[in-house]
Amino acid sequence: MHRQTLFRHIGTQHNRVAPAAADSIEPNKLHQSNRRGWLSMELVFVLPILLFMLLGMFEFSLLFFARSEVTEAARTGARTAMLAGVSEDDVISAIRTTLSPRLHGGLNIHVDLGDQSGDPVGVAVRVPMQNASPDLLWPIGYSINNQFLYAETSYLKE
């Protein structure tokens, strides 16, 4: 019986220590309740920045893709223009075929055909950026209104 009393005594002391540990947890709970809402405030500050970064990446990727199309169209036009017996209409037709239909609006093409073999031949293609991408970054001050994608290529006539 003496052992049972000893174990009860030890068990009772553990119960006495537990309320003291529970008292030390109370300040942590108070500290946690003071921090409630900080995550949503951080999200309010960071989310617009991330959103504009995402919109910027989307807009610039469309513009880079369109610029490569305009450059390829200028090269195709210049390759067509360097052939003998080609008219300006043939060059413009080759350029329009190379460009996607969304870039045809506001398209400006300048063709310089050489007269003789060995003369320089030049083709310049200009497309408004608004045809290539929506204007997504105007709220932060970057607008693509009145901006153009431009490519120029020159070869020697055959």
In tens, the pLDDT along 106-134 reads: 999 999 998 888 899 999 999 999 999 99
Give me 84's structure tokens: 């003998």
Which helix (H) or strand (E) segment holds residue 65: the answer is helix 38-81
Task: Express as a percent the part of the chain with pLDDT over 70.
Answer: 78
Task: Report whether 70 contacts 150 (CB < 8 A).
Answer: yes
pLDDT tens track for 57-103 = 999 999 999 999 999 999 999 999 999 889 999 999 999 999 999 99
| Assigned CATH for 40-156 | 3.30.1300
Question: What stretches of the chain adopt beta strand conformation (E)?
Answer: 108-112, 120-128, 148-156
pLDDT tens track for 29-43 = 555 666 677 778 888
Domain limits, the chain: 40-156
Instruction: Give the N- to C-terminal CA distance of the chain in Å, as an integer.
Output: 117
User: Tokens 């310089």 belong to which residue?
Assistant: 112
